[in-house]
């Protein structure tokens, strides 16, 4: 019986032994929420601990995130810190690369000078970054799974549960927000080199609505209609829409209200991709040793 923990937005992850420290930086304009999909509530405590899950042995995939080996975590500018055990598996989903070629067919490698994000010092270049990471845990008893110091009440579907962690803006942000994020990250991470995300065009991540996309990276998941299965014949994992970025979700809900008030059909609202949600912003997972 699996629990899927979704990391949406700006988080800084440090893995030491069997422990994961996940920092949610305190950036103006960001919300920090946790809970079931579409029912996340504010995180008001500075330290949260996930209880009742089994410890796995999956290392965090440093090759699908911004990994800064020369940095160390500080105690500054944290909105909250999550203490997790090592999961059974970490899924790197909806990957962004410098170019998004037509598919199917062979996918060209990025040019040597191309990037999704790089350090401002020029020392590190990242040519693929997952826009969402999902940590997979096993548990024995649903009633023993809880997020200490938060009101989350797990809800299982065919034996699977989801916990969404949100650490980002719910509205589109501009350059001022990116500059502020850099300032906060330099406080969260000692020796932070600064990051530069590619512009013109901003890289696109694989859309959540298309699990056949070559950059979807559904390593062990199989699409079944609007849902994902952990194996070809099950068990149930989660709904595809759970991968949608919170900003895109907010825009979609706003359009829902406008369409209902104007008596327009909402038939395609939940099945059409939202290009705004596929663009990679600077709210991404960062790793440090």
Q: How many CB atoms lie within 10 A of CB 120?
A: 11
Q: How many CB atoms lie within 10 A of CB 155?
A: 12
Domain assignments of the chain as residue spans, ordered by start: 2-287
Q: How many CB atoms lie within 10 A of CB 275?
A: 10
The answer to whether the beta carbons of residues 53 and 20 sit under 8 Å apart is no
Q: 4 pairs with which residues across the strands?
A: 136, 162
Closest CA to 230 of 146, 166, 138: 138
Measure the CA–CA gap between 126 and 21, rounded to whole angstroms: 22
The answer to whether the beta carbons of residues 143 and 257 sit under 8 Å apart is no
Reading the block at residue 43, the tokens are: 């995180």
pLDDT in tens, the chain (289 residues): 899 999 999 999 999 999 999 999 999 999 999 999 999 999 999 999 999 999 999 999 998 999 999 999 999 999 999 999 999 999 999 999 887 666 656 566 666 678 999 999 888 999 999 999 999 999 999 999 999 999 999 999 888 999 999 999 887 777 888 899 999 999 999 999 999 998 887 888 888 888 988 889 877 899 998 899 998 778 899 999 999 988 888 777 777 776 667 777 766 665 565 544 566 778 899 999 9
Structure pTM?
0.91
Measure the CA–CA gap between 75 and 114, rounded to whole angstroms: 34
Closest CA to 189 of 10, 8, 9: 10
**Burial of 265 per CB tally in 10 Å (0-12, 13-18, 19+):** exposed
**DSSP summary character for residue 157:** B
């Amino acid at each position: 019986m699996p629990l899927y923990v979704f990391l949406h937005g700006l988080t800084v992850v440090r893995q030491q032994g069997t422990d994961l420290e996940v920092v949610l930086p305190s950036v103006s304009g960001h919300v920090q929420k946790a809970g079931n999909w579409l029912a996340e509530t504010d995180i008001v405590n500075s330290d949260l601990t996930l209880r009742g899950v089994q410890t796995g042995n999956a290392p965090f995939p440093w090759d699908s995130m911004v990994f800064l080996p020369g940095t160390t975590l500080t105690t500054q500018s944290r909105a909250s810190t999550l203490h997790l055990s090592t999961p059974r598996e970490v899924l790197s989903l909806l990957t962004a690369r410098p170019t998004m070629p037509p598919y199917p067919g062979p996918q060209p490698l990025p040019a040597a000078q191309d990037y999704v994000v790089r350090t401002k010092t020029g020392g590190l270049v990242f040519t693929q970054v997952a826009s969402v990471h999902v940590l997979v845990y096993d548990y024995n008893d649903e009633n023993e799974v809880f997020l200490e110091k938060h009101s989350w009440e797990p809800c299982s579907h065919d034996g699977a549960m989801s916990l969404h962690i949100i650490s980002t803006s719910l509205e589109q942000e501009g350059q001022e927000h990116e500059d502020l994020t850099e300032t906060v990250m330099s406080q969260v991470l000692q020796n932070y080199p600064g990051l530069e995300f590619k512009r013109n065009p901003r890289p696109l991540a694989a859309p959540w609505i298309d699990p056949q996309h070559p950059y979807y990276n559904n390593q062990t998941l199989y699409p079944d209609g609007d849902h994902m299965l952990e194996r070809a014949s099950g068990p149930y994992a989660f709904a595809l829409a759970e991968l949608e970025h919170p900003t895109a979700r907010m825009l979609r809900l706003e359009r829902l209200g406008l369409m209902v008030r104007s008596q327009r059909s909402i038939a395609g609202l939940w099945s059409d991709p939202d290009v705004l949600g596929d663009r990679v912003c600077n709210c991404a997972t960062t790793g440090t040793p």
